[in-house]
Amino acid sequence: MEPVGIAPDRRLNLPSDGTPYWNDPFDVSTPGYKNERLTIPAGSASIEIPFIPVTDTITEGEERALFVIAENRNAPGSYTFDPSINADVRVQDGAGPQIVSIEATDPTGSELGDDPAFFTVRRSGDLTQRTVISLESSGTFKYQEDSHSGNTIVIFNAGDTEQVVYVAPFSDDLVEPVETFTYTLVPFGPVTISGSPSATVSISDGPITQKVTLSAIADAWVGNGGEANLQNGASPELLLLDNRGTGARRDVYIKFDISQVPSIASAEIQFSASWTGVDGGGGGYDVYGVENAVWDESTITWNNRPTEPLSSTRAGSGITSVYGPGPRLNQNSMTDFVVRQKLLGATTVTFLIRPSFDDRRSPYGMYGSIGSRESGAPPKLVLETAPGADSPAGVSHRRLTVAEGDSAKAWVIAYDGSPYYPVNIMKVPGGDPDINIDQQLLTYPLANNGPIARPITFTATPDTDQVSGSATFIVSLFGVIGVITVSEADTGSNLPPIDANTVIVPVTADGFVRQGAGVGGGLASSLEVQNTATDQGEEESFLHFDLTSLPSSDQIASAKVRLYGGAGPQAGLGAMGTGAAASPVAVNAYATAESDWFWDEFNLQWTLRPASAGGIVASQTVAQTGWYEFDVANLLRARKAAGDKMVSIALKGAVAGSTAAIFASDEALSNRPTLLVTRGTVPPPPPPPPPTAAIKVNFQPAAAPSVSGYLVDAGQTYAARNGQAYGWTVSHTSLVFDRNKNSDQLLDTNVSVNAGAKWELAVPNGTYTVKVGVGDAGATSRSNVYVEGQQLFNYQALTANAFANKSITVAVSDGKLTLGIGSAASGTTKIDFIEVSSATSSPPTSPPTSPPPTVPPPPATSAGVKVHFQPATAPAVSGYLVDAGQTYAARNGKTYGWLTSHTDVVIDRNKNSDQLLDTNVGVKAAGKWELAVPNGTYTVKVGVGDSGGASKNNVYIEGALLFNYQSLAANVFATKSITVNVTDGKLTLGIGSSAAGLTRINFIEVT
């Protein structure tokens, strides 16, 4: 600022605008200028204004203050002012970097408060600051309209690393589809976001009830006559019989404890039954509810059994009769009886089961059996809990896993009047005694203007039993508001270590099926796998996992299904093999078909088992009893990338044998199946080679002699090795062979490709020429090969020690060149080697003229010819013979042409500057073109496309498919090469069953 002349001291206004402010608490300090005025002393040409930011512990973004000097209007002077001149001061926050992330830790919610949806926001980095992070909400679910409350900010006080936010739906009168709600973190200043800035939950229309499955606490069968004093409470089978012709009867009693379930909406008894009549037919049964029954399975007999229901009770709605052949899983609704007993204050319920009609023919009548609680298929009582009408509350987790000696938390939320009442947490009897909670009663402050979440802490007491158990806790407030199953991850020496970044996902359903048996093992304590190679006794197992809690596809570093078991003889439902002396069992894991994801363990049986989809996902050889892991990382990444929320896995025997692999199931007392998923960014493969580098790979066992110039692929999964990144989507290490039948090592080894498997090689995006060799020196083969989705071999059949190779030019756009076998069966395609080199996407625009030969040119009938398809009047392309659509005849020193005239379908488009591509022939239906050549092996290159229109090209050379209906837009072209054998003196090009005019051929080159 320049003075106009000598003047006395002047007082000037110092207005400011910006985010720092002077009012308490101060962001900045300007000593002497707090009143926004400054004085320029007489004779001074400038003045320094101190601007001192005040240090605080609040995380802030960049702030600014804009200072403009203006004359004090009350004391105008002799200075002039330029209003565009200002001082723009920027203030950077002193907080260190902070990283935040958001995850939907309970990604589902429902109306009536039964299931609020929870988010967890985590912070790392500089924890000394108080940080307020804004949340933006979106989705079809609006918390301002559809919920009791929501959050617009997340507050981290100094030291905080984690905060829980939630959305609590309320009930309305609308019938609505599932809605979505998304929270998005807003970064600022030193705060950055790890992973996705958003997390989404789904909100379903209420009310939603929850299921609790109870095991029987007592069961027994009793018989009359000579069996009247027998005690049969420890029997693995509960026997049934009714022959009123002889008076013989056997009845079954089953008892359940319902004391820990506060309210019940529905009840269903489930058991596995087998029926046999005197004539081998099926049977039926009635289920009665027995009121006020007092009995014990160790003392019950026919003579002291509980009082039978009156005949009027039998006619009530509590009775269910089902007829049909067994064995089968029977499910019977007993809602009225169980609800009535609960309302009357009963703590247990007893059911009587007996045949529904008699067979008076001696000596047996109608008889059958039911699996007891001592068997592998015990009776179950499935209760649907009823949410209380005045209970808008919920829990944050359905399932938790707590490590031995550690703790885990779930949150209970209550609002809208709930604070006046306590929330009870009750442990269901029979749970792991090592798993407990810190309190059984939660209270809330009376002044509650919105939702309040209170934590429950679950702890697992350290022990030495080396057993992983679980316990179920029921949370109630005027009815059940949540059921939480807590699993203990034992840290005993028999458990493999679990990384701190690993998510433990419990199995949601499992079971096994046996061929020839009507009853499945969905309720058994074991999973059995055996390949018997017969039509009886074969066993397969199935597991189902929920993927909603897992990270995104690119954050899955590893994923393994962990099972505990060993090899042993088939021992029936619920038996565990010891593996002590049994032969090892090879087990393959498969993904089940998407249409079969929704199976349940109650109805699982051989004829209804889920179908497998794709090839082998993982393999293990099971022998001695212990832990076994199946690597399913690629499968889970694919499922998560596709947006799937579940995965279903099948286990099958790889080869026929006399022993089974037997694993602990979810119904076992310990060592249940789990899915272990380790978080972390999947390491990228090393940089691919330069586009000009050629890569040659031989498929062979690791121990076999290598071939000079070729990298070794010994069947491993995709990873970095030998300076490249390549490999299979599933392991093929057991499917690479060295035959020792052929002196050429490149042909003597091969890989026998599994169904659905793919091989990948990391390359820069671009165009590549790929050569693949197929055949088996020791056996026949029928090879089907695709490269980048384009078919190269079409089920080519070869005898033992016969081979073929073809080349194809393809474009790579995703950084990986992919080889697959389409829908071919396992073991039919045998691949010897692959060679990959850079190429151009179309022929050169000006083919070079070959130098004069030093020897006389070959005779007219020999190979070595290039032919361009064009009208006779169009300009010719140097180095190419003209084919103007004439029929087969001698011309231009060669003998070639069409079986039927194509002179009317050769076209010069005048659309492309490259004359080789600007013309084409639109091949007629069943059209064939031939060239006279000596018998022998030839490499044939064909160019297709149309500069003036779209094309869909189907081309065969000597009966081998080269283009498989390849679609190309106008002025887009493709070329491929193939090596074929000619045995009839004519090389033949055809289009198969393609319609007329679809296939547009530009040129053909034969060498």
Task: Kindly state the average pLDDT of the residues 547-574.
Answer: 76
Q: Is the pLDDT of residue 859 over 70?
A: no
**Highest CATH level, class, for 502-679:** mainly beta
What's the pLDDT score for residue 150?
60
Place of tokens 């396992």: 826
Report whether 958 contacts 987 (CB < 8 A).
yes
What's the pLDDT score for residue 315?
25
Q: Is the pLDDT of residue 774 over 80?
A: yes
Instruction: Name the residue type at position 962.
Output: L
Q: Is the pLDDT of residue 25 over 60?
A: no
What's the pLDDT score for residue 992?
84
User: How far apart are the C-alpha atoms of 174 and 986, rounded to whole Å?
Assistant: 75
What's the pLDDT score for residue 518?
62
Q: Is the pLDDT of residue 326 over 70?
A: no
- Residues 828-846 have pLDDT tens digits of 999 999 999 987 533 333 3
CATH 2.60.40.2030 in the chain: give the residue spans. 98-206
Task: Kindly state the average pLDDT of the residues 687-709.
Answer: 79
DSSP class of 55: P
- Residues 148-161 have pLDDT tens digits of 456 678 888 888 89
Nearest CA to 329 out of 269, 369, 271 is that of: 271
Pick 364 or 468 by higher pLDDT.
Answer: 468
The answer as to CATH 2.60.120.430 being correct for domain 865-1006 is: yes
**Joined tokens for residue 316:** 């009530």
What's the pLDDT score for residue 103?
93
User: How far apart are the C-alpha atoms of 424 and 478, rounded to whole Å?
Assistant: 10
The answer as to CATH 2.60.120 being correct for domain 212-385 is: yes
User: How far apart are the C-alpha atoms of 400 and 435, rounded to whole Å?
Assistant: 11
Pairing, β 480-489 against β 399-403: parallel
Strand partners, 586: 621
Report whether 459 contacts 402 (CB < 8 A).
yes
Listed in sequence order, the residues at least 6 apart from 417 whose beta carbon sits closer than 8 Å to its beta carbon are 390, 392
Place of tokens 């026998």: 752
User: How far apart are the C-alpha atoms of 914 and 943, rounded to whole Å?
Assistant: 13
Report whether 531 contacts 538 (CB < 8 A).
yes
Q: By mean pLDDT, which of 100-109, 137-146, 849-858 is the weakest?
A: 849-858
Nearest CA to 271 out of 348, 381, 367 is that of: 381
Rg for the chain, CA atoms, rounded = 39
Place of tokens 């042409």: 897
**Joined tokens for residue 837:** 């080199």
User: How far apart are the C-alpha atoms of 505 and 276, rounded to whole Å?
Assistant: 42
Does residue 25 sit in helix, strand or coil? coil
Does residue 188 sit in helix, strand or coil? strand
User: How far apart are the C-alpha atoms of 820 and 825, rounded to whole Å?
Assistant: 12
- Residues 933-956 have pLDDT tens digits of 999 899 999 999 999 888 998 999
Listed in sequence order, the residues at least 6 apart from 729 whose beta carbon sits closer than 8 Å to its beta carbon are 615, 634, 717, 718, 757, 758, 759, 760
Report whether 772 contacts 794 (CB < 8 A).
no
Q: By mean pLDDT, which of 92-96, 231-235, 244-248, 493-497 is the weakest?
A: 493-497
Listed in sequence order, the residues at least 6 apart from 44 whose beta carbon sits closer than 8 Å to its beta carbon are none
Nearest CA to 29 out of 54, 65, 57 is that of: 54
The rounded percent of the chain whose pLDDT value lies above 90 is 26
The torsion region of residue 159 among left (phi > 0), alpha (psi -120 to 50) and beta comes to: left
Q: By mean pLDDT, which of 9-18, 246-255, 287-296 is the weakest?
A: 9-18
Pairing, β 283-290 against β 320-324: antiparallel
The answer as to CATH 2.60.40 being correct for domain 1-94 is: yes
Task: Kindly state the average pLDDT of the residues 114-119.
Answer: 74
Q: By mean pLDDT, which of 235-244, 595-604, 726-735, 900-909 is the weakest?
A: 595-604
Which helix H or strand E contains 214, and what residues bound it?
strand 210-215
What's the pLDDT score for residue 805?
93
Report whether 329 contacts 232 (CB < 8 A).
no
pLDDT range class, residue 703, cuts 50, 70, 90: confident
pLDDT range class, residue 176, cuts 50, 70, 90: low
User: How far apart are the C-alpha atoms of 830 and 822, rounded to whole Å?
Assistant: 14
Pick 612 or 61 by higher pLDDT.
Answer: 612
- Residues 30-83 have pLDDT tens digits of 554 444 556 667 777 777 777 667 666 676 666 666 666 666 655 565 556 666
Q: What is the DSSP string of 293-334?
A: ----TTT--STTPPPPPPHHHHTSTT-EEEEE-SSEEEEEE-
Q: For the stretch 489-516, what's the b/e string if a residue is b when 16 or more beta carbons lie within 10 angstroms of its beta carbon?
A: bbbeeebeebeeebbbbbbbbbbbbbbe
Most confident of 187-196, 229-238, 914-923: 914-923
User: How far apart are the C-alpha atoms of 266 and 28, rounded to whole Å?
Assistant: 66
Torsion sign (Cα): 610, 611, 614, 618: positive
User: How far apart are the C-alpha atoms of 172 and 186, rounded to whole Å?
Assistant: 31
User: How far apart are the C-alpha atoms of 806 and 770, rounded to whole Å?
Assistant: 8
pLDDT range class, residue 234, cuts 50, 70, 90: confident
Report whether 511 contacts 601 (CB < 8 A).
yes
Phi, psi of 916 (to 5 degrees): -65, -30
What's the pLDDT score for residue 994?
82
Assigned architecture for domain 695-838 = Sandwich (2.60)
Q: By mean pLDDT, which of 233-237, 396-400, 670-674 is the weakest?
A: 396-400
User: How far apart are the C-alpha atoms of 473 and 467, rounded to whole Å?
Assistant: 20
Choose which CATH entry (2.60.40.2030, 3.30.465.10, 3.40.50.300, 1.10.3720.10) describes domain 98-206: 2.60.40.2030
**What is the CATH superfamily name and number for domain 393-462+469-489?**
ntegrin, alpha v. Chain A, domain 3 (2.60.40.1510)
Place of tokens 């599933």: 730
Torsion sign (Cα): 985, 988, 992, 995: negative
pLDDT range class, residue 454, cuts 50, 70, 90: low
What's the pLDDT score for residue 543?
92
The rounded percent of the chain whose pLDDT value lies above 70 is 69
Pick 174 or 189 by higher pLDDT.
Answer: 189
The mean pLDDT value of the chain amounts to 76
131, 159, 527, 721 from 57: Cα distances, Å: 9, 11, 57, 49
Q: Is the pLDDT of residue 301 over 80?
A: yes
pLDDT range class, residue 325, cuts 50, 70, 90: very low
Query: Angle at the Cα of 46 (from 45 to 48), degrees rounded to 5?
Result: 160
Task: Kindly state the average pLDDT of the residues 163-188.
Answer: 76
Q: Is the pLDDT of residue 229 over 70?
A: yes
288, 359, 435 from 311: Cα distances, Å: 10, 20, 46
pLDDT range class, residue 677, cuts 50, 70, 90: confident
What's the pLDDT score for residue 589?
92
- Residues 714-733 have pLDDT tens digits of 988 888 888 888 998 888 88
Most confident of 595-609, 778-792, 832-846: 778-792
Phi, psi of 113 (to 5 degrees): 70, 10
Nearest CA to 559 out of 547, 541, 569 is that of: 547
What's the pLDDT score for residue 247?
78
Task: Kindly state the average pLDDT of the residues 779-806.
Answer: 92
What's the pLDDT score for residue 4?
32
Task: Kindly state the average pLDDT of the residues 305-311.
Answer: 67
Q: Is the pLDDT of residue 323 over 50?
A: no
User: How far apart are the C-alpha atoms of 975 and 963, rounded to whole Å?
Assistant: 9
Listed in sequence order, the residues at least 6 apart from 590 whose beta carbon sits closer than 8 Å to its beta carbon are 612, 613, 614, 615, 616, 617, 649, 650, 651, 652
The pTM assigned to this predicted structure is 0.32
